[in-house]
Amino acid sequence: MIEAKGLGKSYRRFQAVRGVSFEVRPGEVYGLLGPNGAGKTTTLRMLATLLRPTAGRARVAGFDVVRQSLEVRRNLGIVNGGMKVYDKLTGYEVLDFFGSFYDLWGAKLKERIAWAAELLRIERAVLSKQVKDMSSGMQQKIVIARAILHQPQVLLLDEATAGLDVFARRALLDFVRQYAGLGKTLVYSTHVMSEAEEVCDRVGFMNKGLLVYEGSLQEALALGSGNLERAFIRRLEEVA
């Protein structure tokens, strides 16, 4: 469902992402893990057709991210940790507005909003609140609801739990597993290894623009004697 081959992005002489290759299958949660500046966001933005690669290629849902960007966008949702929504609108109005981008109107839109709200455990009363009156956890749920209204095959989550309290974080981690359970494909980018341990089936470690390790969660845990953070550090020492 996602296939990146030698994907790279350079800014003048600086290589933010250097020849990254990986694949993600339907129903799988792939953890893209690494410290700040590793190149995770740049990689996800290339997959989402928001940044043009300067090397390699990638396909999402069978479509090329450069030559078939419209088809890619139809099949993909992306969420960044710091995404904002218009805070004077109610939750319902936000979803109504974004639904129109995907040709969702009337009864169909209502049905999709109810579907997303149930999946994300957003109460009806919250949908009629203005965004500015919602907790940051609720706001993030609206952001995610907005990203899945068109029921994309592929969902890219970039530091999606940043700044959330324990309840909102829990709801989002549960949502990730549930969405994968629908046969969807997810990339979960984070520097919080404990979250990845909980939701990912496979993980890739990124550092300085390179994918330095890839394996199933079990393999990665074994590498770190049961701890993902230790595995990450060991792998980095090996390649240093």
Which residues of the shown chain bind ligand ATP in the complex (CB under 6 A)? 11, 14, 16, 34, 36-42, 191
The pair phi, psi for residue 46, each rounded to 5°, is -70, -40
Count CB-CB contacts under 10 A for residue 42. Answer: 21
Considering the complex, what minimum distance in angstroms separates the CB of residue 42 from ligand ATP?
3
Q: Coil, helix or strand for 207? A: strand
**Partners of 80 in the β-ladder:** 158
CB-nearer residue toward ligand ATP: 42 or 75: 42
Considering the complex, what minimum distance in angstroms separates the CB of residue 37 from ligand ATP?
4
For 76-138, give the secondary structure using H, E and C: EEEEECCCCCCCCCEHHHHHHHHHHHCCCCHHHHHHHHHHHHHHHCCCHHHHCCEHHHCCHHH
CB-nearer residue toward ligand ATP: 162 or 173: 162
Considering the complex, what minimum distance in angstroms separates the CB of residue 205 from ligand ATP?
11
Considering the complex, what minimum distance in angstroms separates the CB of residue 36 from ligand ATP?
3
CB-nearer residue toward ligand ATP: 63 or 205: 205
Given strand 210-216, what is the order of strands in its sheet?
76-80, 154-158, 185-190, 29-33, 202-207, 210-216
CB-nearer residue toward ligand ATP: 37 or 56: 37
CB-nearer residue toward ligand ATP: 11 or 107: 11
Considering the complex, what minimum distance in angstroms separates the CB of residue 33 from ligand ATP?
9
For residue 168 the two structure tokens come to: 């909102």
